[in-house]
């Protein structure tokens, strides 16, 4: 059973008649309250009083809001009201989005910094710069590492045509 165009008190009477004493008064009240619109339902549930007083409250709410006429076409409906857009809330939402992007960017940068290869490479390249100043003629066939560190290079990528210069007591300088 639905409220439809009935008053809440009429709905309760119809439900009671249909139950024919098969349901307890508490169960019948709960079922009846669940059939009411949300605004009337919360008021009826919160109200401490007899069933007759609860029906009077529900009838008064429905009459004062003139919802009987709006619900005449079918079962009771919950009508939602949307608040007008607030520019301050929109601005706050944009700020939250910007902060979320910044946090994501910072966490990505931090994870890159924590990776061992990045920090070791950065440290090792600085220490090698201080240790060696070997110059090698730039060539398209010499890899980056041999161009940069010459004979001290620890890596080599093909194609690389670097040939180490012999050093020792028998070499001319």
Give the pLDDT score at 34.
84
- 115, exposed or middle or buried, with CB in 10 Å at 0-12, 13-18, 19+? exposed
**CA–CA separation, 142 vs 148, rounded Å?**
10
The whole-chain average pLDDT of the chain stands at: 74
pLDDT in tens, 4-42: 677 888 888 888 888 787 777 888 888 878 888 887 878
- Which tokens go with 1? 């059973």
**CA–CA separation, 9 vs 46, rounded Å?**
17
pLDDT in tens, 103-134: 888 888 877 777 655 555 555 555 555 555 44
Q: Are 62 and 40 in contact (CB under 8 A)?
A: yes
Q: Are 7 and 65 in contact (CB under 8 A)?
A: no
pLDDT in tens, 38-91: 878 788 888 788 888 888 888 887 877 764 455 555 555 666 667 677 888 888
What pTM was computed for the model?
0.37
């Amino acid at each position: 059973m639905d409220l439809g165009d009935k008053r809440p008190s009429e709905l309760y009477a119809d439900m009671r008649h249909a139950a024919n004493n098969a349901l307890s008064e508490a169960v019948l009240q709960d079922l009846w309250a669940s059939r009411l619109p949300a605004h009337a339902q919360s008021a009826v549930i919160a109200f401490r009083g007899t069933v007759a007083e609860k029906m009077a409250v529900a009838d008064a709410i429905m009459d004062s809001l003139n919802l009987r006429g709006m619900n005449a076409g079918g079962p009771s409906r919950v009508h939602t009201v949307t608040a007008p857009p607030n520019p301050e809330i929109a601005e706050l939402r944009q700020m939250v989005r910007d902060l979320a992007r910044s946090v994501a960017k910072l966490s990505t940068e931090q994870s890159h910094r924590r990776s061992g290869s990045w920090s070791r490479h950065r440290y090792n390249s600085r220490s090698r710069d201080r240790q060696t100043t070997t110059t090698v003629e730039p060539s398209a066939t010499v890899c980056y590492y041999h161009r940069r560190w010459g004979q001290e290079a620890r890596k080599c990528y093909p194609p690389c045509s670097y040939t180490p210069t012999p050093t020792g007591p028998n070499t001319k300088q």
